[in-house]
Amino acid sequence: MKFKIIIPLLLLSLFLKGQNKQDSIILKSIFDEELGHGQSYDNLRELCKGYGKRLSGSPIAAGAVKWSYSKMKSYGFDTTFMQEVMVPHWVRGAKETASYHITSGSKATSVSVCALGGSIGGKIKGEVIEVRSFEELRSLGKDKVKGHIVFLNRPMDDTKINTFYAYGGAIDQRELGANEASHLGATAVIVRSMSLGINPYPHTGMMMNYTDSVAKIPACAISTKDAEMLSKDLKQSAGLSFNLEMHCQWLPDTLSHNVICELRGTEHPKEIIVVGGHLDAWDMAEGAHDDGSGVVQSLEALRLMQKLNIRPKHTIRCVFFMNEENGMCGGLKYAEVAKLNKEKHIAALESDEGGFTPRGFGFEARGDTLKRLFAYKNLFTPYYMDHFQEGGGGVDIGPLNELGTLLIDLNPDTQRYFDFHHAATDVFEGVNKRELEMGAAGITGIIYLIDKYGL
């Protein structure tokens, strides 16, 4: 009896060891090809330099869609197509300006400023009240806030190792600031940029829609450097008058597209594994880390599989989602169509945390599924990518959760991310070729394993 159990176990163990070795070799071939002859970096350059400020609804975004379709077509995958999606269209208009004037002083101090995505424009002049939280704001009450410009100046927490947690702890100011301040009668809101440390760049980003019950007021971000300066001047000066001028506005919704290509599965062509990022970007720079990196890495996953003659069992679909930044219409439309067409999506991976050296993956899975995924960790140790964690996803693939799809995100190193995020600094030159490529190869590796062994 014992032998009957032991021998099959031994064989299984030997078989698994063999598999493991074979998988190691495939992973190495993926990394070798990408680091030696990768195309992700050149593709990122084309996208960033050709279609920099590709905010949803803009002519540049339309150009980026065309570029994406042509680029996918050029690789000769099994399928390439566009999926229509209506997207919001917000424009910054002429460059916004801000300055302030200390009552006792003689000259104005200019401030680096940018409108928050979704804000109305306007020309506002007024005194500033600085607070660090909504509690503090509310405690001041309508009497003190009414007619003032509210300045939300709580810094991101430098001590968080994963900087996304620091972001999470400060973002309420950007998202809800206008509504909270308007509720108390403020005339505008200034938010300290979501960036770590002190730098001269204002960082934009989406604010929540204005609540119907309150007046719409302009909302902007100023750089952390200027936030420090303004705060100091507010403490030292008896009176300070702030001037803000913004020209942003909403235009009618616009037709745009998700752009999609596929390697068709040899065994389960109707079962889909998605890999993607978002094609749209803020209008401050080139969207190199956010999320040019994610789209070119996703495309590279298909190119690498094709190049290395890895024929997937399931259909591997690369999706360039439109409108992650200010509406997530692309992700919602994609899931809606998938549901309508009764497509089976077994897994979806999103890369949207910048083109930095990858550390591992996050998996929105539990129990045995998670255990099976964690069993791949050792295969990623040679690439320093073995920080596997429970919990993962992404804004664009999130809506697929409803379909029972396993959600995964690539987790790069986060230390530099908020130097670039939504700011004028997010240009192609800020991305390191090898770091980008490591991510592209890692994505391909995990997709290869999930395709081969299922879930």
Q: Which is nearer to a second copy, 73 or 434 (CB)?
A: 434
Q: Which is nearer to a second copy, 52 or 442 (CB)?
A: 442
Do the beta carbons of residue 399 and residue 327 sit within 8 Å? no
Cα separation values, 2 from 6, 11, 13, Å: 6, 14, 16
Residue 387 binds to a second copy (criterion: CB under 8 A): yes
Task: With CB under 8 A as the rule, give the number of residues binding a second copy.
Answer: 25
Indicate the residue type of 20.
N
DSSP 117: B
Which two three-digit tokens encode residue 210? 């204005």
Cα-based angle 128, 237, 114 (whole degrees, multiple of 5): 40
**What contacts 239, CB < 8 A, 6 or more positions away?**
102, 103, 104, 127
Rounded to whole angstroms, the Cα distance separating 369 from 209 reads 38
Nearest distance from C-beta of residue 432 to a second copy, angstroms: 5
Segment lying near a second copy (by CB under 8 A), choices 27-35, 248-256, 321-329, 339-347? 27-35
**What contacts 404, CB < 8 A, 6 or more positions away?**
none
Segment lying near a second copy (by CB under 8 A), choices 101-109, 212-220, 299-307, 382-390? 382-390
Name which position in 147, 197, 391, 454 contacts a second copy (CB under 8 A).
197
Nearest distance from C-beta of residue 31 to a second copy, angstroms: 7
Segment lying near a second copy (by CB under 8 A), choices 1-9, 96-104, 120-128, 433-441? 433-441
Rounded to whole angstroms, the Cα distance separating 331 from 320 reads 10
Query: Residue 296: in which H helix or E strand, if any?
Result: helix 293-307
Residue 54 binds to a second copy (criterion: CB under 8 A): no
User: What is the tally of helices (H) and strands (E) in the chain?
Assistant: 13, 16
- The closest alpha carbon to 316, from 364, 275, 352, 362, belongs to 275
Nearest distance from C-beta of residue 163 to a second copy, angstroms: 8
- Residue numbers 405-424 binding a second copy by CB under 8 A: 413, 415-416, 419
Residue 35 binds to a second copy (criterion: CB under 8 A): yes
DSSP 285: S
Rounded to whole angstroms, the Cα distance separating 160 from 253 reads 38
Segment lying near a second copy (by CB under 8 A), choices 17-25, 28-36, 146-154, 204-212? 28-36
Q: Which is nearer to a second copy, 216 or 377 (CB)?
A: 377
Site map for a second copy, 351-380, x if CB under 8 A?
Answer: ------x-x---------------------
- Residue numbers 148-177 binding a second copy by CB under 8 A: 158-159, 161, 163
Q: Which is nearer to a second copy, 334 or 380 (CB)?
A: 380
Nearest distance from C-beta of residue 423 to a second copy, angstroms: 15
Q: For strand 268-278 and strand 188-192, is the pairing parallel, antiparallel, or unpaired?
A: unpaired
DSSP 398: G
Name which position in 384, 395, 403, 424 contacts a second copy (CB under 8 A).
384
Rounded to whole angstroms, the Cα distance separating 248 from 360 reads 39
Nearest distance from C-beta of residue 386 to a second copy, angstroms: 9
Indicate the residue type of 209.
N
Q: Which is nearer to a second copy, 30 or 261 (CB)?
A: 30
Binding site for a second copy (CB under 8 A): 31-32, 35-36, 158-159, 161, 163, 196-197, 357, 359, 382-384, 387, 413, 415-416, 419, 432-435, 438
